[in-house]
Amino acid sequence: MSTVPTLPSIASKRVPTKRINTHVLFSGPEDGLPVILIHGNFSSATYFEETMLAMPAKYRCIAPDLRGYGDTEDLLVDGTRGARDWSDDLKALSDKLGDRPGHLVGWSLGGGVVMQFALDYPELVASLTLISPISPYGFGGTKGVEGMPCYDDFGGSGGGVVNPEFVRRIKEGDRSTDDPNSPRNVINAFYYKGGFKAGREEAFLDAALLEKMGDDRYPGDMTPSANWPNVAPGKWGPINATCPKYFNTSGIANLTPPILWVRGDADQIVSDTSFFDFGTLGQMGFVPGWPGAEVYPPQPMVSQTRAVLELYKANGGTYTEALFDSGHSPHIEKPGDFIKAFVSFLEGK
């Protein structure tokens, strides 16, 4: 059962697979059209419960906790495989549940996971919905819409870039509001726009604090770098798995399933000027020694995604962009508008 109490009509189950024992939330009829919802970093499937319950009755919603998160078995994420540990875990779950095509939804880091799954197992993807997804070129350490690395060692990305005070407070299970780096304050300041407060704030914090912590878990290990800001990727954990040294899903430009791209107009996490990107922080003077925009500009995350999707369109694909009056979490901040856009997309309207 889920550590975090679920909403009525949400079923919580542990599903053993050949790779990992996965905790999964379910809603809707067992023979319904599968919709697979993949959460982001510092969250879990709990963040999709309201979305699941708002879906029309013909859909079977399936929301697993990724490896490293929530109530799924605590196994390591091999960062050197990019998002493939998660992709293969989802395939193993698909094998167990029926191995039939589904509509994949990925939020933030989860957007990277579903893009990787679509590359690895295209026959199982009916459509892709990307909610505030990380760039197809990963998070941190690249420049230009083509995703070129700022340095050969991908400095400025990987497990060493996460704020250590935030990490310390997660390990301590901090629920306070006494510091900007507290988990509660980070969620409220950066997941949402303009002071939005989630009705299930306590449950969301509970779910986020289940993230598995440590140098080989979150945030992951690091390698010293001679390049600013003097950290480069290590090998373990989710932040290394989504760094550009190991992660590149730009190949989705050659796929065919329709894509819905949902984003918020005030997203501070995935943005062309992300407050979680060293290029932005250096340019703003928050990190000393910034080498300048020619060497290390802010990563144009949104522009990189758009460039890949435009290439996908040029190759014959179809994508729709939906911009919301929200921050990083449009499905939570604007639930009615999100469901309307999502269901219209699924039904080809």
Tens digits of per-residue pLDDT, 12-68?
999 999 999 999 999 999 999 999 999 999 999 999 999 999 999 999 999 999 999
Residue 174 counted as domain residue: no
Domain span at residue 319 reads 11-150+249-346
Query: What's 70's domain CATH number?
Result: 3.40.50.1820
Sign of CA dihedral 289, 225, 281, 161: negative
Residue 223 counted as domain residue: no
Cβ-in-10-Å burial (0-12, 13-18, 19+) of 273 comes to: middle
Radius of gyration of the chain (CA): 19
Q: What is the dihedral of CA 284, 290, 293, 294, to 10 degrees?
A: 180
Tens digits of per-residue pLDDT, 258-313?
999 999 999 999 999 999 999 999 999 999 999 999 999 999 999 999 999 999 99
The mean per-residue pLDDT over the stretch 181-199 comes to: 96
Cβ-in-10-Å burial (0-12, 13-18, 19+) of 152 comes to: exposed
Q: Is the pLDDT of residue 348 over 80?
A: yes
- What confidence score (pLDDT) does residue 188 get? 97
- What confidence score (pLDDT) does residue 100 get? 87
Q: What is the DSSP string of 62-117?
A: EEEPPTTSTTS-----BGGGTTHHHHHHHHHHHHHHT---EEEEEETHHHHHHHHH
Residue 190 counted as domain residue: no
Residue 96 counted as domain residue: yes
Q: Is the pLDDT of residue 349 over 80?
A: no
Count CB neighbours of 258 within 10 A. 18
Residue 195 counted as domain residue: no
Peptide bond into 219 cis (omega under 30): yes
Residue 159 counted as domain residue: no
Residue 57 counted as domain residue: yes
The proportion of the chain whose per-residue pLDDT surpasses 90, expressed as a percent, equals: 97
Count CB neighbours of 190 within 10 A. 18
Tens digits of per-residue pLDDT, 310-346?
999 999 999 999 999 999 999 999 999 999 999 999 9
State the total domains in the chain.
Answer: 1
Structure tokens given for 161: 């870039």
